[in-house]
Chain A
Amino acid sequence: MADQATLRAGMATPLSGQSYSSNGITISEQQSCDKLIVRADFSDAATVAALSQVLGQTPALEANTYSMADDKAVYWLGPDERLVYLHAQTAADTIGSVQAAIPAGKGAVVDVSDYYTVIQLSGQNARDVLSSGTPFDVHPRVFGAGQCAQTRYGSATVLLSALDDDTPTFNVQVRWSFAQYLWTYLARVAGYC
């Protein structure tokens, strides 16, 4: 049987962590982190309190926002759905405690660590590159740091999040199978902007 070190060596991301820079933009696949989908009744104060305890933060309660504390980030995906970034390979350790925070049978916690990868766009042209594929308005007045949105980019469903307004920086989360398509798209339009 393989040990943990061998396992780690075998780990892959869809884009092998590649990076691309051209005028005014850097595009790079981020290091992978574990992720959980949490389905629960976020209008229930007790549930939110219990989840806050486990996640170390009040999970984002407003639509189109994310919350962040310590090593975790919580993205609003829908009224009863959040996505938790664990910023480490800790899904296995965390999943039980999150489950325990939700009343039995009245929600779900699903490990989706490998379902998605994250591509980061940074630089003065980042908004133009984003607007080349999505009708979603990424102007800082309507989409500033701390906000996130599920939308589409080209033909892929993505989760956009705004990280920094001064040096425009965005994360684009995409399903593993669409990663190569999205990468090609981003790198192509970066040359046109």
Chain B
Amino acid sequence: MSQSCRLDSGGRIDRSKVLQFTFDGKSYTGFKGDTLASALLANGVKLLGRSFKYHRPRGLIAAGSEEPNALMQLENGAYTEPNTRATCIELYDGLVANSQNRWPSLGFDVGAINSSVARFLPAGFYYKTFMWPASMWMTYEKFIRKAAGLGVSPTEPDPDVYHSRYATCDVLVIGGGPAGLAAATAAAGSDARVMLIDEQSEFGGSTLGAAAVPEVASWVAASTAALAANNNVTLLPRTTVTGYFDYNYLTAVEKVTDHLGPGNGGTAPRQRFWKIRASRVVIAAGSIERPLVFADNDRPGIMLANAVSTYINRFGVLPDQNIVVFTNNDSAYRTAVDAARSGATVTMVDTRAEVSAELTRVLQQHKVKQFTGHAISSVQGTKGVKAVRIMPLSADGKSLQGQAWEINCGIVANSGGWTPSVHMFSQSGGKLQYDNSIEGFVPDPAKAKRINPGFSVGACNGSFATGDCIAEGAQAGRQAVEACGFVASDVAMPELTDALNDTGMGGIAALWLVPTVHPVGEGPAKHFHDFQNDVTAADIHLAAREGYLSVEHLKRYTTTGMATDQGKTSNLNALAIMAEIRGAQIPEVGTTTFRPPFTPLTFGAIGGQESKDLFLQERHTPMHQCHVQNNAVFEDVGDWKRPWYFPHSGEDMHAAVQRETLSVRTDVGMLDASTLGKIDIQGADAAEFLEMIYTNNWKKLAIGNCRYGLMLNEHGMIFDDGVTTRLGEHHYHMTTTSGGAARVLNWLEEWLQTEWPEKQVYCTSVTEQWAVVALNGPKARDLLATLSDIDLSKEAFPFMSMREGQVAGIPARVYRISFTGELAYEINVPARFGRQLWETLQEAGKPFNLCHYGTEAMHVLRAEKGFIIVGQDTDGTVTPADMDMDWIVSKTKPDFLGKRSFLRSDTARDDRQQLVGLLTTDPTVVLMEGAHIVQEIKDAPPMTTIGRVTSSYMSPNLERSFALGMLKNGLARKGETVQLSLMNGDAVEALVTDPVFIDKEGVRVRG
């Protein structure tokens, strides 16, 4: 199909570069420089989608990112992306696009039946219908999602890569139109760092879509070139500022290779997410034309006037030979002239009775027929406009009466005025004020948020004339850069001679709702204001009747402004219609707060490089490579990758863990314990400090000896535990849980710095300084003796002490502490020797049947001894007494953190849940961790819960299953039988026991 609507010349397209693309399976051609929207329009394709609720045929409305209708499913398979706006997709060769929200085809859509039953789908329909009963919501939801779905998410992993980065600048300019270019030019030139961002592929803003004015075009080109040549200026075309956050922190998405087509970007990222901190922000975001709200104003071919101009001027596309321009302000006269110059037959329908003689003269010059004081009363054609009927408008604008005219046309270019793009100012926390002269909200500089200093200039500030935009931009750029301590540059002004192009919007006479011969909502026609969410003026009337009068209620009740376009073309119309209904001024109805993102963005961009292997920060111990070579299966513990178990060939997890667990109690095993948190504590008051931090006594601990300690928070609940060793008079080595290291260090520092700053205590994290191998088992001493010069005899090196010496020739600190209840040594060497130590032990251990064991076997071994894991057997509501650990709580110390809370009635009561052992009647049943112990088994929940399983394993040493759990009044219930209710509905019986299952007397550990 040839490009039937393409003009022979003109536009910013390259007619020598022909690009192939398909839409809904049909092939078309376009040119380099086209958007998908302009290329479709060039091919005469006007029907582009179906509406959200009524499935009405829809076509293009806009030429920019405000487009509500032309949402595309772009590309296929892994590259597919839903809800992309055809107006924002730069055409590339081979592009594949499909329309959305239609089935089975765009031309014949089954869902369109919604349209004929429209009176049953008013605003609030979903709420009213599906609110009750609540249990049916899950059923309704599927139906709603299917019927009202937009595009389809890809199901395959995203093959693209993304980059996110930070940037700091002095002046950030949002928008590269005349105002933004002027601001950037004024700010640049000295050493100031300036960033200029625009969502289009070229700078120039509104001038790109306007009829060529050589003076303006050359000014834009020269300004852009000068900025590009400046090393301190960062120009980001194809970039959209998506969010404006506090302290001038803004985010933007740069489409780096999207315009090349999927897979054509080479190694470059598809998109780049910018996180920008700016001293000053100049918002030059322009404005968005809003449609007139008239009967059946959603028919394909009814477009915004400036969009028609843009398609003509920028893309060389005249969408139809017969064009009606419908306006309430001067700006659309430019479109009439643009279309007439391009050869179209143009009719101007102006709702205003009085229009300047100059405009009328210009129309006459271009042979445009003009109707003033008229309005469109109806539209013929459903899948495309065929004709419009116009009638004289009453003086008050409330009714149509008199001679009707029918005008054949394929396009209605309409303008209800221009709405300043105040999104960024609003996101920055600034408040808006209503400007009656332009019928729109503009930023109120007196109500800007102080922490977000900046300026709004040009059309987004209500200044539409090119000259005003440049002057305002230059002024703001100057003030912004001077506020940062730099010298501003002068901005040259172009000669502006074309009055029609440079005067902006001109006199607007608001007409918020164009009447028909029927009262609103009663005729067959619909007056749409929100196209993407299919909301009509009648819906606003309904909302008002039902009492949803404030803008926030109106919005939620009708869903106006809540679609992916965030109501860019609809918000003000909705407000104004509500104001008319209420007989109120627009500011009294209020305005909605704009929230990020300005336009939809991909999760890929937000994530940037921090996905897949960089999603979480993996931490490795010095022996990590040894574990990989030893075939370890890893477990995530905090951010650490810890060996979970080391399967031999043919072993599953259960077999490996059972073997490892047995081996430690019969021979000897080694565990990489490097992840344990380690804190070096020094200073004259260190002992006194530990007395406050831990529940037990520390002052009398001898140098070289170790002690287990519990830390409580001020609620009296267990917070962390570990072994601390006294290295010297004022020197301690504290260990914490692997996951708790940072939390504990913070805890210590917070107390030291905020409560006891006078204390001489210095804490330094040394977690990674030391590689730690825990050697556990009856043969641990014999094995270690082959490698160490330390006297390992029971007398010289007793349990709970530390000795320094050499192990495998490496300087080491060896702690005789045990988390398994076996004879054990924790060998600490500087990290640089960790791998050497591991490999040496591995070789030397062969005669002793040394095994590697992982965290799962460690968990079984410690549970067999009733040793708790903070965070698994405790949950922040557990006191030492609950753990039957009264022995570790000093009765003599005057104070320690958490002590006072023991006296609270809730912590002091004796029927709290307490730690017990659990042995199922059937020894083969391994309870699920988290299973509930219940008062009494019933057929179905609810059952009264009296406890829960916290740790549960199969033990090769006990030759049966066993568990630890918390049970109400558990300490007094040992020997009783309790019932557990499992998720699958089964009931299990278990005996309550002591939590220590092996070597209750502690003979092995002291051996």
| Direct contact, A vs B (beta carbon within 8 Å) | yes
A residues with a Cβ closer than 8 A to B are 1-3, 6-7, 10-14, 32, 37, 39, 104-108, 110-116, 128, 131-132, 134-135, 137, 139, 141, 154-156, 175-181, 184-185, 188-189, 191-193
Min CB gap A142→B, angstroms = 8
Given A1-B809, A110-B680, A176-B768, A155-B191 contact (CB < 8 Å): no
**In the complex the two chains form, is A11's CB within 8 Å of B833's CB?**
yes
Flag the segment in B12-20, B163-171, B594-602 that touches A. Answer: B163-171
B810 at the A/B interface (Cβ < 8 Å)? Answer: yes
Which chain A residues border B730 with CB–CB below 8 Å? 104-105
Residue among B609, B683, B685, B770 with max Cβ neighbours from chain A (10 Å): B609
B875 at the A/B interface (Cβ < 8 Å)? Answer: no
Which chain B residues border A131 with CB–CB below 8 Å? 165-167
Min CB gap B257→A, angstroms = 11
Residue among A1, A107, A134 with max Cβ neighbours from chain B (10 Å): A1
A12: contacting residue among B161, B165, B836, CB under 8 A:
B836
**In the complex the two chains form, is B835's CB within 8 Å of A12's CB?**
yes
- B834's nearest neighbour on chain A, judged by CB, is A12
- B608's nearest neighbour on chain A, judged by CB, is A132
**In the complex the two chains form, is B768's CB within 8 Å of A115's CB?**
yes
**In the complex the two chains form, is A12's CB within 8 Å of B622's CB?**
yes
**In the complex the two chains form, is B683's CB within 8 Å of A108's CB?**
yes
Which chain A residues border B831 with CB–CB below 8 Å? 12, 114-115, 176
**In the complex the two chains form, is A180's CB within 8 Å of B275's CB?**
no
Flag the segment in B612-620, B936-944, B989-997 that touches A. Answer: B612-620
**In the complex the two chains form, is A7's CB within 8 Å of B810's CB?**
yes
Which chain A residues border B764 with CB–CB below 8 Å? 37, 39, 108, 110, 112
Which chain A residues border B620 with CB–CB below 8 Å? 14, 177, 179-180
B267 at the A/B interface (Cβ < 8 Å)? Answer: yes
B166: contacting residue among A3, A113, A134, CB under 8 A:
A134
Given A108-B682, A135-B275, A155-B616, A114-B835 contact (CB < 8 Å): no
Which chain A residues border B164 with CB–CB below 8 Å? 132
Which chain B residues border A191 with CB–CB below 8 Å? 267
Min CB gap B198→A, angstroms = 21
**In the complex the two chains form, is B269's CB within 8 Å of A192's CB?**
yes
**In the complex the two chains form, is A114's CB within 8 Å of B832's CB?**
yes
Task: Enumerate 19 A-B pairs (CB-CB under 8 Å) in ascending A order.
Answer: A7-B809, A10-B810, A12-B834, A39-B682, A110-B682, A110-B764, A114-B830, A115-B831, A128-B165, A134-B166, A135-B166, A139-B168, A175-B768, A177-B620, A178-B619, A181-B619, A185-B614, A189-B163, A193-B165
**In the complex the two chains form, is B768's CB within 8 Å of A192's CB?**
no
A110: contacting residue among B167, B766, B832, CB under 8 A:
B766
Q: Report the tally of A-B residue pairs with Cβ distances under 8 A.
A: 141
Min CB gap A112→B, angstroms = 6
Min CB gap B503→A, angstroms = 42
**In the complex the two chains form, is A2's CB within 8 Å of B809's CB?**
yes
Given A191-B267, A192-B268, A111-B616 contact (CB < 8 Å): no
A10: contacting residue among B163, B767, B836, CB under 8 A:
B836
**Considering the complex of A and B, which 5 residue pairs feature the smallest CB-CB distances, nearest first?**
A2-B809, A105-B684, A10-B836, A108-B682, A114-B831
Which chain B residues border A39 with CB–CB below 8 Å? 682, 762, 764
- A7's nearest neighbour on chain B, judged by CB, is B809
Which chain A residues border B928 with CB–CB below 8 Å? none
Which chain A residues border B53 with CB–CB below 8 Å? none
- B675's nearest neighbour on chain A, judged by CB, is A177
Min CB gap B450→A, angstroms = 22
Which chain B residues border A141 with CB–CB below 8 Å? 191
**In the complex the two chains form, is A115's CB within 8 Å of B619's CB?**
no
B617: contacting residue among A7, A128, A155, CB under 8 A:
A155
Which chain B residues border A179 with CB–CB below 8 Å? 620
B806 at the A/B interface (Cβ < 8 Å)? Answer: yes
Which chain A residues border B859 with CB–CB below 8 Å? none
A141 to B768, CA, bound (A): 34
Which chain B residues border A177 with CB–CB below 8 Å? 619-621, 640, 767-768
B75 at the A/B interface (Cβ < 8 Å)? Answer: no
A31 to B817, CA, bound (A): 35
Min CB gap B370→A, angstroms = 56
**In the complex the two chains form, is A113's CB within 8 Å of B619's CB?**
no
A181: contacting residue among B267, B617, B832, CB under 8 A:
B617
Which chain A residues border B666 with CB–CB below 8 Å? none
A155 to B163, CA, bound (A): 16
Given A115-B766, A176-B622, A185-B683 contact (CB < 8 Å): no
**In the complex the two chains form, is B769's CB within 8 Å of A108's CB?**
no
- B761's nearest neighbour on chain A, judged by CB, is A108
Given A110-B680, A135-B275, A192-B161, A156-B617 contact (CB < 8 Å): yes
**In the complex the two chains form, is B833's CB within 8 Å of A184's CB?**
no
- A132's nearest neighbour on chain B, judged by CB, is B165
B255 at the A/B interface (Cβ < 8 Å)? Answer: no
B444 at the A/B interface (Cβ < 8 Å)? Answer: no
**In the complex the two chains form, is B680's CB within 8 Å of A108's CB?**
yes
> Interface digits, B763-785 against A, CB 8 Å rule (1 contact, 0 not)?
01111111000000000000000
Which chain B residues border A105 with CB–CB below 8 Å? 683-685, 730, 760
Q: Which of B778-809 contact A (CB under 8 A)?
A: 789, 806, 808-809
Which chain B residues border A6 with CB–CB below 8 Å? 809
**In the complex the two chains form, is A11's CB within 8 Å of B766's CB?**
no
Which chain B residues border A134 with CB–CB below 8 Å? 166
A32 to B730, CA, bound (A): 30
B277 at the A/B interface (Cβ < 8 Å)? Answer: yes
Which chain A residues border B833 with CB–CB below 8 Å? 7, 10-12
B193 at the A/B interface (Cβ < 8 Å)? Answer: yes
Which chain B residues border A1 with CB–CB below 8 Å? 789, 806, 809
A134 to B193, CA, bound (A): 18
